[in-house]
């Protein structure tokens, strides 16, 4: 029995396949920022990591525990259309700076035209170069770095390079705030940070895994262990959002 190719079921009027028609219908129904984000995902799925921006409930769950009052410098990796960027700016002191780093020139251009805030510095570059980016703009160590980069789909070796650069770029006592849709990033965080506090955010699709990774504030700082043999701290709420050492 010979196999025959499936018929090309294109619409007689539009010339589109059913899948193409469905994709167009989905994009036409999306709000403008979400549509822009979706198009960027189609261009670089390995770097964007999601087809829609992060839900506000997840954003608040990651950022709310942090004491922003003494913050001077924050870095954001992969700001996309700026949903986290805007939420950070809402919390940031007037004299602080937010450096948003994205490899997509389209996302950077979008942020520059859609957010009018003197505290925001948008950079088209790689998170692996965070140290030189901060130095080039006369900024010191970051108090906090926030990231939604899809570490599991980054090019080989780039995940570890970004994690190591991040640990060096954060001041002692500072934190790396991470939201992911898998636990791939966990061993990378363990290798560079003293405490890793982990929570789930169920109010988004799919559920997101949130991490607050703490950099030691003094020599000899030891990680709390829970459960035995695991450096991920599940319950100590006093560690989440601990202000950076001055």
Query: pLDDT value at position 37?
Result: 45
Query: pLDDT value at position 67?
Result: 86
User: How many residues in the chain?
Assistant: 246
Query: pLDDT value at position 215?
Result: 94
Show the low-confidence residues of the chain (pLDDT under 70): 1-54, 218-246
Residue 118 CA to residue 137 CA, distance in Å, equals 14
| 3-state SS assignment for residue 151 | helix
How far is Cα of residue 75 from the mean position of the Cα atoms in its chain? Answer: 10
Query: pLDDT value at position 17?
Result: 63
Query: pLDDT value at position 14?
Result: 53
Residue 74 CA to residue 130 CA, distance in Å, equals 11
DSSP class per residue in 198-231? EEEE-SSSS-EEEEEEEPPSSTT-----SSTT--
**Structure tokens belonging to residue 86:** 């805007």
Query: pLDDT value at position 227?
Result: 31
Query: pLDDT value at position 141?
Result: 97
Query: pLDDT value at position 31?
Result: 45
pLDDT (tens digit, 9 = 90+) per residue, 26-42?
444 444 554 444 454 44
């Amino acid at each position: 029995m010979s196999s025959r190719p499936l018929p090309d079921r294109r619409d007689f009027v539009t010339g589109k396949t059913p899948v193409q028609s469905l994709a167009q219908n989905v994009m036409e129904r999306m709000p403008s920022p979400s549509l822009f984000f979706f198009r960027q995902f189609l261009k670089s799925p390995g770097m964007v990591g999601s087809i829609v921006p992060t839900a506000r409930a997840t954003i608040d769950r990651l950022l709310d525990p942090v004491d922003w009052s003494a913050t001077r410098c924050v870095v954001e990796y992969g700001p996309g259309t700026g949903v986290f960027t805007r939420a950070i700016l809402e919390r940031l002191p007037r004299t602080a700076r937010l450096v948003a780093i994205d490899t997509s020139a389209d996302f950077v251009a979008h942020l520059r035209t859609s957010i009018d805030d003197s505290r925001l510095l948008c950079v088209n570059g790689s998170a692996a170069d965070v140290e030189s980016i901060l130095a080039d703009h006369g900024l010191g160590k970051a108090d906090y770095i926030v990231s939604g980069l899809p570490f599991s789909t980054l090019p080989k070796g780039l995940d570890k390079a970004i994690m190591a650069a991040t640990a060096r770029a954060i001041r002692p006592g500072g934190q790396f705030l991470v939201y992911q849709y898998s636990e791939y990033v966990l061993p990378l965080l363990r290798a560079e940070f003293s405490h890793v506090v982990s929570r789930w955010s169920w109010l988004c699709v799919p559920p997101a895994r949130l991490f607050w990774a703490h950099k030691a504030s003094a020599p000899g700082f030891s990680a709390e262990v829970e459960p035995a043999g695991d450096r991920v701290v599940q319950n100590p709420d006093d560690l989440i959002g601990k202000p950076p050492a001055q």
